[in-house]
Amino acid sequence: MNQTAATLASDAQSEICDALNQSVAEVVVTTMLAQNFHWNVKGMAFGPLHAMFQEIYEDHFVAQDDLAERVRALGGHAEGQLSGMIARSKVEEHDGHASDKEMIKTLAEAQRTVAATLAGTAAIAAKHGDLLTEDLCIGRGQTHEKFAWLLSAHLE
């Protein structure tokens, strides 16, 4: 049966919110990764990479909000501590000391990681009949896969 935030069982809400908070954590760390690379990229591809990294972090900033607000709509607590997000995230921080190609490779891998996490979150939501969360996560996952492809195309 299809569920909404108001009709989900509390155990379903809890499981979905935990998965959403995992997604938020990884998007937050990836946002900072893109912004860090935006600040520190150099070389012949500076212009297009500087712009692309900005496009990515601006997109991700909106995504963080959408995902965290879904946690709240489901009655959960949106985790907001950076230390907790960094500890939880499968995407690792980076100090920004890297070549442009290393930045691209690192950020593309982060995009794939976030896409996989969002796909997992969508599956958990689907298991509980939460089509609204499933749809949100599928759409976000597709965006992260697209960014992974756009970044990887620079390396081919």
The CATH number of the structural domain formed by 10-153 is: 1.20.1260.10
Task: Count CA within 13 A, CB hemisphere, residue 20.
Answer: 32
Q: What is the mean pLDDT of residues 73-98?
A: 96
Rounded Cα–Cα distance for residues 66 and 135 (Å): 12
| pLDDT tens sequence across 37-57 | 999 999 989 999 999 999 999
Write down the number of H helices and E strands in the chain: 5, 0
Provide the pLDDT confidence category of residue 5 given band limits of 50, 70 and 90.
confident
Rounded Cα–Cα distance for residues 101 and 107 (Å): 10
Query: 28-32: long-range contacts at Cβ-Cβ below 8 A with a sequence spacing of 24 or more?
Result: 28/64, 28/82, 28/85, 28/89, 29/85, 29/86, 29/89, 29/91, 29/92, 29/93, 29/110, 30/60, 30/91, 30/107, 30/110, 30/111, 30/113, 30/114, 31/57, 31/60, 31/61, 31/64, 32/57, 32/93
Query: What's the predicted TM-score (pTM) here?
Result: 0.95
Rounded Cα–Cα distance for residues 146 and 152 (Å): 10
How far is C-alpha 125 from the geometric centre of its chain's CA atoms? 17
Q: What is the mean pLDDT of residues 9-25?
A: 95
Average pLDDT of the chain is 95
Domain positions in the chain: 10-153
Task: Check residue 3 and give its pLDDT.
Answer: 76
Asked if 52 and 109 count as a contact pair (C-beta separation under 8 A), the reply is: no
Task: Check residue 46 and give its pLDDT.
Answer: 93
Provide the pLDDT confidence category of residue 156 given band limits of 50, 70 and 90.
confident
Q: What is the mean pLDDT of residues 5-19?
A: 88
Rounded Cα–Cα distance for residues 85 and 42 (Å): 28
Q: What is the mean pLDDT of residues 116-143?
A: 97
Whether the per-residue pLDDT at 154 is higher than 80: the answer is yes
Task: Check residue 131 and give its pLDDT.
Answer: 93
Task: Check residue 144 and give its pLDDT.
Answer: 98
